[in-house]
Structure 1
Amino acid sequence: MAYKNRTYIAFDGDSDIRYYWLMKAWKHNSRDFFADFNFYDAHDTNSARDTSQEQSIKRQLSERLDNSKLFILLVGDSTRYLYKFVKWEIEQAIERRIPIIVVNLNGKRQLDTDKCPPLLKDQTAIHISFNQKVIEHALNNWDSQLQNIKQQSKSGPFYYTDEVYKKLGL
């Protein structure tokens, strides 16, 4: 089995792709300016084209998930209504026990019951706002925090306190 070192990012490809591109720009600029924002993008693993058949796309996405150690869901206005791929991607992350980071594009810092896909409302995941510093913090810390949560037999949605955001300068 290949070493899992990628970050899988799921999003509404029609409405929210600009946020994914912005994350990629943060990553690129991190290399240029010695900042810490970095992730190994699972989408670089292969190419799933919109013109492909659904099963072919899911096969490509499955390969990406196989190499992922973290799952980020970018939650926009229509994310909760996407069943063909986004719901399937979430189901796969849950089934594979990939730590989940839910990123609210509207700036909300905790579970957004109006926008979050119902499938994730009771799952153990961290819910954060869309901001480079807090996403970076979650990328670097959520996996180990999740291990501690599991050891304490806790579950459900989690979020960072205002104090964490304040320490990050937000």
Structure 2
Amino acid sequence: MGHKNKTYIIFDGDNDKWAYARMKGWKALEHIDFDFENAHDEYSLTTNASNEDYIKGKLRKRFQNASQVIVLIGESTKNLYKYVRWELEVAQNLNIPIIAVNLNGDRKQNNNTCPPIIRDTYVVHISFKMKIIKYALDNFPSEFKKRTTDKSIGGRTYNESVYSSLGLND
């Protein structure tokens, strides 16, 4: 199965583009069951991409069609305010579920790398492994929508049994 709703992916374009490219590669391989509809495929940027207002306008349009957000968290993601923090604020304001994917392999919130704006909020924190990303895309958005306000604080994780059931025992 794969996730057919639009997914907006946030990442450090200078340092973590490799991870975004790997996700697109997983999606492209026919023998791998990994799919997502990439919100970045819509409203492409043109030569005006150096203008911050222009870029944010295009990104805002991409958010309109997104059902969930993946933020790829690398070593410097927490320090990026111009776009990454802004994109996370937009996702929160639009009440879009956020899946925080730790590129260092952490399976829980890591305050040394996690952007402060999503620390201790109702976000699921997972490792950068295809199977757990697919699992989160298939399960977290519906969980997010069912949450109640008194249970909607604090970072979420998947327990070890979920990782084990996916063959991720490391």
Q: Structure 2 length as normaliser, TM-score?
A: 0.91
1:39 paired residue number: 36
Same amino acid, percent of matched pairs: 45
What is the distance in 1 between the residues matched to 2:148 and 2:99?
A: 16
Q: Are residues 151 and 167 of structure 1, via their aligned partners in 2, closer, same or farther at CA, if it must alter by over 3 Å?
A: farther
8 A Cα contact 2:121 2:152, kept in partner: no
1:111 paired residue number: 109
1:159 paired residue number: 157
2:65 paired residue number: 67
Q: What is the RMSD computed on CA atoms of the aligned residues? A: 1.6
8 A Cα contact 2:124 2:157, kept in partner: yes
1:8 paired residue number: 8
What is the distance in 2 between the residues matched to 1:147 and 1:24?
A: 26
What is the distance in 1 between the residues matched to 2:65 and 2:100?
A: 19
* SS state at 2:132 partner: helix
Q: In the alignment, which of 90, 99, 102 is matched to residue 97 of structure 2?
A: 99
Instruction: Indicate whether 1:135 and 2:133 are aligned.
Output: yes
Instruction: Indicate whether 1:80 and 2:78 are aligned.
Output: yes
Amino acid at match of 1:103: V
1:18 paired residue number: 18
* SS state at 2:109 partner: coil
8 A Cα contact 2:119 2:155, kept in partner: yes
What is the distance in 1 between the residues matched to 2:97 and 2:7?
A: 10
8 A Cα contact 1:149 1:155, kept in partner: no
Amino acid at match of 1:84: K
What is the distance in 1 between the residues matched to 2:139 and 2:161?
A: 16
Aligned residues: 164
2:88 paired residue number: 90
